[in-house]
């Protein structure tokens, strides 16, 4: 497949830059946006930004790589929505572990599955509030599982009551244990109290002002914010979906982030609310407990929470993003 850069028009030559700018809406751990790009002629190189690694929260760089995988998939969706086919080479430089992918804009058929998600790039938001008691229809849940599988990642719905109770306990225990990890609370304070024009971090307007239902400690992570939210008397119909991979190499974490992005955008397109629960995979001890609770031999990478938002719930406001100029290598 010939490289599209060989014959880029004046209009097409801005495609890589426009695609990166749209991809910056991707979710990341504490909205740290730990990525950086180099834009060339007809291609984009994605790098991890070690200066935005959160060692207290993310000691083995799992969250960082998952975040970069999410922005990589957002970039693929942006390219398809802008009318370009792409070819992705993951981990292209064995001498540079920061260089995670090279994306080339090429001639060829569009990825229609990615293109239909283009309109969701600006609509997806993390919703940390309670959901309704309406369960996700089985057919829709199966479709989300298929979207993860397209990336070589298994998405395990946690629906059996005993397994759900076990996973919820793992999440709650992980949140408690993390508070004793060196540097964790300092990072939490740093990334939830950013200066006004910081363009990153988790603002108070994106965090619910009211507590979740009793017994839902696993949903609590950030200090109370100002986002209007309420708990209902009935059970929460939100479904936990755990992404697991056969291995735990850098590329496994990267593609798990891509799968997470696909599932989140597909859920948004279906009118569902989503949140990312990463605390159970950030410590090796809790990750092993999560594996046992799930009864799987594969490596847990991330937990997603998906459900129907409460009627009349106010929109989740946009969280800040750094401008394109701040994430470019010159």
State pLDDT tens for residues 210-262: 655 544 555 566 656 666 665 555 556 789 999 999 999 999 999 999 999 99
Same domain membership, residue 199 and residue 242: yes
**CATH no. for residue 175?**
3.40.109.10
- Which of 7-16, 65-74, 110-119, 271-280 has the lowest average pLDDT? 7-16
Any domain includes 128 = no
pLDDT tens digit string along 120-158? Answer: 999 999 998 888 888 899 999 999 999 999 999 999 999
Average pLDDT over residues 77-106: 97
Per-residue model confidence (pLDDT) at position 6: 39
Any domain includes 254 = yes
Any domain includes 313 = no
**What is the domain count for the chain?**
2
Per-residue model confidence (pLDDT) at position 214: 46
Its domain, for residue 41, covers 4-123+320-327
Per-residue model confidence (pLDDT) at position 59: 95
% of residues, the chain, pLDDT over 70:
87
**Edge-to-edge strands of the sheet including 43-48?**
35-40, 43-48, 99-106, 85-90
Same domain membership, residue 283 and residue 142: yes
Same domain membership, residue 117 and residue 249: no
Average pLDDT over residues 77-97: 97
Same domain membership, residue 151 and residue 287: yes
Among the listed residues 242, 203, 246, the one whose alpha carbon sits nearest the alpha carbon of residue 224: 203
152 conformational bin, left if phi > 0, alpha if psi -120 to 50, beta if neither: left
**At 194, is the pLDDT very low, low, confident or very high (cuts 50, 70, 90)?**
confident
Any domain includes 132 = no
Any domain includes 315 = no
**At 197, is the pLDDT very low, low, confident or very high (cuts 50, 70, 90)?**
confident
Kind and range of the H or E run holding 43: strand 43-48
What is the distance between the alpha carbons of residues 75 and 19, in angstroms, rounded to a whole number?
Answer: 6
- Which of 3-7, 14-18, 294-298, 304-308 has the lowest average pLDDT? 3-7
Same domain membership, residue 144 and residue 118: no
pLDDT at 114 over 90: yes
Same domain membership, residue 287 and residue 172: yes
pLDDT tens digit string along 101-111? Answer: 999 999 999 99
Report the range out of 109-118, 225-234, 306-315 with the highest average pLDDT. Answer: 109-118
Per-residue model confidence (pLDDT) at position 195: 78
Per-residue model confidence (pLDDT) at position 179: 86
Same domain membership, residue 256 and residue 142: yes
Any domain includes 130 = no
What is the distance between the alpha carbons of residues 56 and 282, in angstroms, rounded to a whole number?
Answer: 9
Same domain membership, residue 119 and residue 10: yes
**At 1, is the pLDDT very low, low, confident or very high (cuts 50, 70, 90)?**
very low
Any domain includes 262 = yes
Any domain includes 278 = yes
pLDDT at 35 over 50: yes
Average pLDDT over residues 164-169: 92
What is the distance between the alpha carbons of residues 179 and 194, in angstroms, rounded to a whole number?
Answer: 20
Same domain membership, residue 215 and residue 148: yes
pLDDT at 209 over 90: no
**Residue 178, Cα to own-chain centre: how many angstroms?**
20
Same domain membership, residue 272 and residue 172: yes
pTM of the model: 0.92
What is the distance between the alpha carbons of residues 260 and 152, in angstroms, rounded to a whole number?
Answer: 12
pLDDT at 318 over 50: yes
Same domain membership, residue 279 and residue 165: yes
- Which of 21-35, 127-141, 267-281 has the lowest average pLDDT? 127-141
Higher pLDDT, 224 or 34: 34
Same domain membership, residue 33 and residue 165: no
């Amino acid at each position: 497949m010939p490289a599209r850069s060989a014959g880029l028009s004046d209009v097409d030559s801005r495609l890589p830059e426009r695609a990166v700018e749209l991809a910056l809406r991707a979710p990341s751990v504490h909205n740290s946006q730990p990525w950086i790009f180099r834009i060339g002629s007809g291609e984009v190189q994605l790098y991890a930004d070690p200066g935005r690694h959160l060692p207290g929260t993310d000691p083995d760089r799992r969250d960082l790589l998952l975040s970069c995988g999410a922005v990589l998939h957002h970039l693929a969706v942006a390219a398809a929505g802008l009318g370009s086919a792409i070819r992705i080479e993951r981990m292209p430089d064995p001498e540079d572990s920061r260089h995670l992918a090279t994306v080339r804009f090429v001639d060829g058929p569009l990825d229609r599955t990615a293109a239909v998600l283009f309109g969701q790039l600006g609509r997806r938001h993390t919703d940390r509030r309670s959901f309704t008691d309406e369960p996700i229809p089985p057919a829709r849940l199966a479709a989300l599982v298929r979207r993860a599988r397209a990336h070589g990642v298994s998405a395990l719905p946690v629906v059996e009551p005993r397994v759900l109770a076990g996973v919820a306990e793992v999440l709650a225990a992980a949140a408690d244990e993390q508070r004793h990890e060196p540097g964790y609370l300092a990072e939490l304070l740093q990334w939830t109290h950013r200066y006004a024009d910081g363009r990153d971090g988790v603002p108070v307007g994106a965090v619910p002002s009211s507590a979740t239902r009793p017994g839902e400690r696993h949903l609590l992570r950030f200090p109370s914010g100002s986002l209007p939210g309420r708990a209902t008397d009935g059970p929460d119909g939100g479904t936990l979906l755990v992404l697991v991979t056969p291995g735990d190499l850098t590329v496994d974490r990267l593609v798990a982030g891509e799968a997470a992005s696909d599932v989140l955008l597909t859920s948004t397109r279906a009118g569902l609310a989503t949140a990312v629960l990463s605390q159970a995979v950030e410590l090796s001890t809790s990750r092993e407990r999560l594996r046992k609770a799930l009864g799987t031999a594969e490596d847990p990478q991330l937990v997603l929470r998906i459900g129907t938002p409460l009627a009349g719930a106010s929109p989740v406001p946009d969280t800040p993003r750094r401008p394109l100029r701040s994430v470019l290598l010159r």
